[in-house]
Amino acid sequence: MKVRVTITPKQGILDPQGVTVERALPALGFQGVTDVRIGKHIELRYDPPGGVSAEQARTDVDDMCRRLLANPIIEDYTFELDEG
Amino acid sequence: MSSASPQPVRFGVVVFPGSNCDADAHHAISTFPGATVDYLWHKDTDLKGVQAVVLPGGFSYGDYLRCGAIARFSPIMQAVKDFAADGGLVMGICNGFQTLTEAGLLPGALIRNTGLKFVCRYVNLRVENAETPFTRACDEGDVLRIVVKHNEGNYTVDPETLAAMKANGQVVLRYCDADGVPGDAANPNGAVEHIAGICNETRNVFGMMPHPENSVEAALAGGADGRRLFQSIIDTLTVAEVAS
């Protein structure tokens, strides 16, 4: 199955890139831009041999996020699974 | 009364793919008569009997994903974790510090510098705790002048953990001015409370963003303030050996 992981800096953690982009957008004439957070988007396929239930896949992907893809000390993550 | 001079302290410098301060660290340690130093390859699974481990600066695994995120899965890191759990002295410099936080051996994390720029300059560091195996050759309040060179040196940690760290003397070095006063102007990366170096609860694992290995020879630019950190390790382990 297809997995899409979105990683963003945790609330309360300073995001220097987000702050800088937030300051730059008004310079282009876009007013009212706030809360810019810059993170990562990771796509992968997860097809373990023998198949995997959606529930197990969610558990496994959560484990991948917690242990490697994100650093839970500084980052939040969400993910979506797509059968097929 | 007299005894044979103590055996030199055996250091190991870990080499990850992408380390680039490993040779500097090796050279720095080799300038101490009281020490010997060997490289430890990231694929090694034992520490070859060394008494202190240095994780050097650089860009291990290209800094892919996050700085230090992949290095912590190297075979050598399991040996480093076991060594640290047994009380062995582990020092992480720059990327080595990042790797120690990713490995969970030190609290917190290092994020992008607030200025979004790679910072390469001398900084002053105030010794906040001289009662660690890495700073015992200093006095509290001493100011060390050492170089930083990093893009992700902005130390961050949740407030509860930070409070516990301060109560336990785990904040070891802070960025400060030449008079030893920490402050924003002296802080090159936005690190919380100007933190430049920390240790774990048991004080045997230490990480710092500045590079003491680049300040070991008084005749060269940069002075020799970095010597005092390596000397501290040597003193700690020499005393331990004499005592045992």
- Closest-CA distance, B41 to chain A, in angstroms, reads 22
pLDDT of amino acid B219: 85
Q: Which of A13, A68, A69 sits opposite B111 (nearest CB)?
A: A13
Q: Is B211 designated active site?
A: yes
Residues spanned by the domain of B196: 9-243
B1 within some domain: no
pLDDT tens for residues A24-75?
Answer: 999 999 999 999 999 999 999 999 999 999 999 999 999 999 999 999 999 9
Q: B154: which chain A residues are within 8 Å (Cβ-Cβ)?
A: 14, 16
Most B CBs within 10 A among A37, A67, A68, A75, hence the mutation to make, goes to A68
Q: Is B94 designated active site?
A: yes
Q: What domains, with CATH codes, occur in chain A?
A: 2-82 (3.30.1280.10)
Question: Mind spelling out the 3-state secondary structure of chain B?
Answer: CCCCCCCCEEEEEEECCCECCHHHHHHHHHCCCCEEEEEEECCCCCCCCCCEEEECCECHHHHCCCCCCCHHHCHHHHHHHHHHHCCCEEEEECHHHHHHHHCCCCCCEEECCCCCCCEEEEEEEEECCCCCCCCCCCCCCCEEEEEEEECCCEEECCHHHHHHHHHCCCEEEEEECCCCCECHHHCCCCCHHHEEEEECCCCCEEEECCEHHHCCCCCCCCCCCCHHHHHHHHHHHHHHHHHC
B2 within some domain: no
Residue B95's alpha-carbon distances to A63, B41, B103, B137, B209, in angstroms, are 25, 16, 12, 24, 8
The total number of structural domains in chain B stands at 1
The pLDDT of residue A84 is above 90? no
Residue B5 in contact with residue B242, Cβ under 8 Å?
A: no
Q: Which chain B residues have any C-beta within 8 angstroms of a chain A C-beta?
A: 65-66, 69, 73, 101-102, 108-109, 111-116, 154, 156-158, 190
**Helix, strand, or coil (residue A16):** helix
Domain containing residue B52: CATH number: 3.40.50.880
B149 within some domain: yes
Supply B204's token pair: 């045997």
Q: Which residue of chain B is at minimal alpha-carbon distance from A65?
A: B65
Strands B52-55 and B89-93 come out as parallel
Q: Do A16 and B116 count as a contact with CB atoms less than 8 A apart?
A: yes
pLDDT in tens, chain B (244 residues): 445 678 899 999 999 999 999 999 999 999 999 999 999 999 999 999 999 999 999 999 999 999 999 999 999 999 999 999 999 999 999 999 999 999 999 999 999 999 889 999 999 999 999 999 999 999 999 999 999 999 999 999 999 999 999 999 999 999 999 999 999 999 999 999 999 999 999 999 999 999 999 999 988 877 899 999 999 999 999 977 777 6
| CA dihedral for B155, B75, B202, B134, sign (positive or negative) | negative
Query: Among residues 29-48 of chain A, which lie with CB inside 8 Å of chain B?
Result: none
B87 within some domain: yes
Q: Is B150 designated active site?
A: no
